[in-house]
Each structure stands twice: as C-alpha cells, then as structure tokens.
Amino acid sequence: MNLKYANSKISEEEYLQGELVAEFKHEFIDGEAYAMAGASEAHNLLAGNIFAELKNQLKGTPCRTFIADMKVKVANDFFYPDVMVACQKDDDVDYYKQSPVIIVEVLSPSTRKFDKTAKRLKYQNIPTLEEYVLIEQTIAEIEVFRKKDHWQSSYYYLGDTITFESLDVTVLVEDIYYQVNNDDVLTFLQEKNQAALGESDANPVQPPHIAL
C-alpha cells in the first residue's frame, strides 16, 4: 500500500477535484486518499512495452489503450492501473473509466501484496473485466487471471507467448521485457545468442560454385 495522504475520510467529489490539481497522484480506497510512489526504470519500460504492443495491435478496433494517468473506478474506489484497455463507450467522464476489458499492473515491492490480493479482488468485481495481468520486475514472470477460468491464474516466462483472449492479441513475453535488464532477461538473451551462433556454425555459408 502507498502512504495515506489524509487522516480523515473525504468524499468522492473532493477526491476527484483534488486530483485535478494535486502534485502527485493518489488512489482512493474506502474514502481515503493514498499517495502513489514514483516508479523505477524497469517499471516504466515494462508498462510502456505492453502498452505499445496492445495499442499497435488494436489499431482499427473500438478498443482504447490507456497508460498510467487514467483512473479506473471500482465501486466507490479509484485506482491508477499501469495499463488498461476499454472497448466500449459508456458514461465515463474524461478522467476515469468504468468498463475496462483488461487491466495490467507492474509489481513493485511496496505494492506486490496489495496488487495480488485486495486490489485483485476489487478488480474482479468489475463486470466488463476479462483479464487481470501482473508483471514482475526483478524476474521475468507474468501472471494472468482470466474470468473464463474462474479467475485462476496462468504463468508465462521468456520464450512463451501470451494470448490476451478478450482482445484476440498475442504478445511475446520477451517483447514485454524488451530493454529490461534483470538476471532472467540477460540469461535468456545470452542463451539465445549462443544458440544463434551455434546454428550459424552448423550451417556455414558455402562459397559460390564456379564452373571451369
């Protein structure tokens, strides 16, 4: 959880008005506002990579992809998902959405427990939500919860592809971890390069045959 911003409860309207002028973002949970901590380089890269993959593949569809600064309303709470996709127009105002199909959170040490437990349970109550995605920073592991699987999770690693079934979009795990230099990624890239070199050595380029 992030640090509580105010000691007393405030109304939804007070929170929304305050966010328009606040220096830092806050999430609104059970009538209280909590300041959000800054994000690491890896966090930004991971959120940006999956945002770019989803946005590019959803061109020409009604779906809209949002990153970081767009709130989602869940009952009486408000959160800032790292990435979310909404595919239908509803009565949302300009500063929050209520009908996402997918929500993605990049896990941080300070938020991991909350994102995997209490926040996940809140998100699962959104009627339109089909998939909830959790991305680890320090290791290459992605956990996907799907409504069609009764919110049981599936895990994906480097070398795997993920199909986000609600969007009919498929993404390579290695593309989500592009430029993220944790130990898993560095080992994977080293093994991939060694395999490519081995294949090249096994199939050397033959000189052209010259007829005499």
Q: Given this model, what pLDDT does residue 79 score? A: 97
CB-based contact 65:85 (threshold 8 Å): yes
Which tokens is 3 given? 């640090």
Q: Which residues, 6+ apart, have CB-to-CB distance to 84 below 8 Å?
A: 65, 66, 70, 72, 97, 100, 102, 103, 104
For 54-72, write each residue's pLDDT tens digit.
999 999 999 999 999 999 9
Name the pTM for this structure: 0.88
* Cα gap 22→119, rounded to integer Å: 23
Tens digit of each residue's pLDDT (9 = 90 or more) over 6-52: 456 899 999 999 999 998 999 999 999 999 988 899 999 999 999 99
Which residues have CB under 8 Å from 29's CB, separation 6+?
77
Q: Would you give the DSSP letter of residue 148?
A: G
Instruction: State the CATH class of domain 39-194.
Output: alpha beta
Max intra-chain CA distance, the chain:
93
Q: Tell me: the pLDDT tens digits for 98-145? A: 999 999 999 998 889 999 999 999 999 999 999 999 999 999 999 999
**Res. 3: pLDDT tops 80:** no
Per domain, the residue ranges of the chain are 1-37, 39-194
Which pLDDT tens digit goes with each residue over 144-162? 999 999 999 999 999 999 9
Q: How, if at all, do strands 100-106 and 96-97 pair?
A: unpaired
- Helix boundaries (H) for the chain: 12-21, 41-57, 112-116, 118-123, 173-176, 183-202
DSSP state of 36: P
Both tokens assigned to 48:
């940006």
